[in-house]
Amino acid sequence: MSADALVITNATAILPDRLLPDARIVVRDGRITAVGGARTRVPRRAAVIDARGGFVSPGFIDVHVHGGGGADFMDGTPAAVRTACAVHARHGTTTIFPTTTTGAPHEIHAMIDACRTVRDEAVPTGGARIAGIHLYGPFFAPDKVGCHSADGRRDPTPAEFARYFATGLIRIATCAAELPGALAFFRTARRQGCFITCGHSNASWTEMAAAFRAGMRHVDHFWCAMSSVPSIRARLGTPMQGSMEQYVLMQEAMSTEVIADGQHLAPELLQFAWRMLGARRLLLVTDASRAVDMPPGRYRFGPVETGTDFDHDGKVGRAPQGGLASASVGMDHMVRTMLAATKAPLWEVVRMASLTPAERTGIAHDTGSLTVGTRADIVVLGRRLAVTHVLVGGVLQPR
């Protein structure tokens, strides 16, 4: 829009702690310059977006996402990265952390290089902004690989993970806490200032506590590919010991995430997670595969050449052996499902998809809320929370 400013009107603004009816949001030079009521002054020569009685929300932030639109970030090409970022922007995600799977070191480095290329393009081609990379695979427990390729799983070694951290792009770092070398991984990630997580793990309470001391503060996709009291008993015998679930619930400094696609977790589990943890410790993620916005069919999870096959049934990915294989919908779907399941205040549900991940990854000063001075990463939603407009840094994205 060729105008001095942009104004969003006729909206209910979703703030971190409340709804603001009859709101106006003013954007200038890619930043939010005013958030107020209907009397907020509209600058001259301002372009106007009429929300038509809907909502204006901070842009969503996805810390765990593998692909979309037929592309997986692990395909390792700029074209694949652009495709996935564009797809998720259409679903309201304005900041994205492309997430690795298990794979060979050269495949992970190709993914990192492709993300760097897209992040640094002089003329952005649109889509969600890359805020860093989530180093997720390959450091998983052998018995918790899930839909990822078991051939690409391995234990962490300084010789390997130091090269990933040396790229300067890793902002979120995941490792199964019980693996040999995990504590060295966590300590290195802490020195790098990463948001440190434990995932695809059969860790005990004791192993989680050691990881916590080394800097770990988060558990990936709650109840999915994670330890339980029975799984710890099968591994370590009696007396029965606490698992990742109990550690997260008891340790107030810990956070976790849920895949609220309506397929991974039943409504009561979504409600339980919200009630036990609250919106400041619980994140919404998509964990989305390349099947987002694609027709039902067979797809490849991870690198197109060496990943694993899964079937997209139109609702979710399913591995050939029957297990779930990542989500197939965007963050807007997660918000609507979480709201319906929990009956939580809308501002708390949106917080889980925006400000809370921004806080946990250290970018809340710049994005994650409708706050004056922050980047104009904004989603306009209809009355039923369907996405109508998306702005990334004040730039209107194609629909």
Q: Give, to the nearest 10 degrees, the angle between helix 267-277 and helix 331-342.
A: 80
Tell me the two tokens of residue 375. 């980047």
pLDDT at 10 over 70: yes
Q: Residues of the chain with pLDDT > 70: what percent?
A: 99
239 preceded by a cis bond (ω within 30 of 0) = yes
pLDDT at 38 over 90: no
β-sheet with 93-98: strand ranges across? 60-65, 93-98, 129-130
β-sheet with 282-285: strand ranges across? 133-135, 170-174, 195-198, 218-219, 255-259, 282-285
**Enclosing H/E stretch for 48:** strand 46-50
Tell me the two tokens of residue 92. 């309201």
Please tell me the predicted confidence (pLDDT) of residue 399.
85
Q: What is the pLDDT of residues 146-205, one digit of tens each?
A: 999 999 999 999 999 999 999 999 999 999 999 999 999 999 999 999 999 999 999 999
Tell me phi and psi for residue 230, to 5 degrees: -65, -40
Q: What is the pLDDT of residues 352-393, one digit of tens each?
A: 999 999 999 999 999 999 999 999 999 999 999 999 999 999
Domains identified in the chain and CATH numbers: 5-57+374-396 (2.30.40.10), 60-361 (3.20.20.140)
Q: Mean pLDDT throughout 46-64?
A: 97
Q: Residues of the chain with pLDDT > 90: what percent?
A: 94
Buried b (16+ CB within 10 A) or exposed e, 24-59: bbbbbeeebbbbeeeeeeebeebeebebeebbbbbb
What are the angstrom distances between the C-alpha of 76 and each of 306, 362, 373, 385? 12, 26, 35, 33
Q: Are 170 and 135 in contact (CB under 8 A)?
A: yes
Please tell me the predicted confidence (pLDDT) of residue 312.
96
Tell me the two tokens of residue 365. 């000063």
Q: Distance between CA 206 and CA 221 in Å, rounded?
A: 20
Please tell me the predicted confidence (pLDDT) of residue 116.
98
Q: What is the pLDDT of residues 261-291, one digit of tens each?
A: 999 999 999 999 999 999 999 999 999 999 9
Q: Distance between CA 17 and CA 256 in Å, rounded?
A: 20
**208: Cβ–Cβ under 8 A, 6 or more apart, which residues?**
177, 198, 216, 244, 247
**Enclosing H/E stretch for 381:** strand 378-381
Please tell me the predicted confidence (pLDDT) of residue 1.
43
Average pLDDT, the chain: 96
pLDDT at 123 over 90: no
What are the angstrom distances between the C-alpha of 94 and each of 88, 225, 377? 8, 27, 6
